[in-house]
Structure 1
C-alpha cells in the first residue's frame, strides 16, 4: 500500500522518469549457510518488484544487488554468523568463491546511479554490482 501511495503522489507530471529501486542481494538467487531467512525475504521482494514492473509500465523497476558493502550488517555477519565459512569469508576483504571484495557505500551507489542515468535496463531487471557491463 505504501508503494501505491508514493506512486500516486509522484505522478508523471511531477517526475518525467520514475524509477523504483529494490536493494537486493546475491542471497536472493544463491543459497548460503546461516542466511536462509534473509534470502527468503530478498527473493520475495525481487518477485514483488518484478510484478510491479509488469503492472505499471510508466515506471522503471530495478532490483540492484550492491555487492558486499562495508556496513554494520556486514560486520555483524562477519562476527556472529553461526557458519564458520561465512564468518571467514566476511572477515577477509578480498574476493573468494563466497564473498567478493568489500565495497564502500559510495562505490556501489555510484555504479547504481550510472545504471539509472543510462536507463538501458529492462524494467524488472536484476543487476549486481559485479555483473559485466553490456
Structure 2
C-alpha cells in the first residue's frame, strides 16, 4: 500500500480529485480520529437515503449529488469538528443551524461530544436530494 494521505490544516485529508465511491472512501478512511467513523455513518446515511447517489472528491472534500458535477452535500474536516455543507440548506425544513456567507448554503457542525441526529440528518439529505444541485 502507498503512504497515508497527507493531512492539511485542520486535519483535512488531501485526496486527489476523482469521481465515484473510491475517492470518497479514501477520504473517509483518512479522516483523523473519531471523524472517520462519523464520515462512514454520513456516507451510509446518504447512500441509504438516496439510492444511486453520485460521489466525488474535489478540493479535498467529498461531495454527494444526483448527477455528475451537481451536488447537494459536502463535508470538510476541521480540528474540532466536521463541517457538513448543504448547498441548498436555506430551503430545508428545519433550516440547518449554521449560516453561510454564500447563497443558500447552510452548515451542520458535528463535534465528537455531540452525536449526529441521524433521523434529522437523513431527512435533510432526502430534502436536499430533491432540490436542484449546486453546479461545481
TM-score, scaled to structure 2: 0.26
State the structure with bigger RCO (CA 8 A, min sep 6), 1 or 2. Answer: 1
User: Which structure is higher in helix share?
Assistant: 1
TM-score, scaled to structure 1: 0.26
